[in-house]
Amino acid sequence: MQVLVNVNHGVNKCYLLSFPGDMTSAQIRESLDNYPRSTAIQRLLKKARTFVEIQPHQKPKAAASARFVVSDSYTTERLG
């Protein structure tokens, strides 16, 4: 499962996180719902198996391949 994280606190970077196969979307959603956004993003970064910094021109393709797109102000989930 992949999650695209937009970090906007003066950094303006994007990271594509990959999680092990046993991580479910419910666990990611729970982490995003139960913690403040900055804490939830830090927890996702720690739990990720790998994360790669995404260049601005690669962002649309990375967002299309990710199950979740997470930012400081919004979260979107791709269904299906």
- How is 29-74 classified by DSSP, letter by letter? HHHHHHS-HHHHHHHHHHH-SEEEEEPGGGHHHHHHH-SEEE-SS-
Q: How many alpha carbons lie under 13 Å from residue 49 in its C-beta half-sphere?
A: 8
pLDDT of residue 10: 66
User: Per residue in 20-79, pLDDT tens?
Assistant: 888 898 999 998 999 998 899 899 999 999 999 999 899 999 999 999 999 888 888 888
Write the single-letter amino acid at 71: S
Residue 3 has pLDDT above 80, yes or no: yes
pLDDT of residue 12: 80
Contact indicator for 24, 32 with CB cutoff of 8 Å: no
pLDDT of residue 22: 86
pLDDT of residue 80: 66
Q: Does the pTM of the predicted model rise above 0.75? A: yes
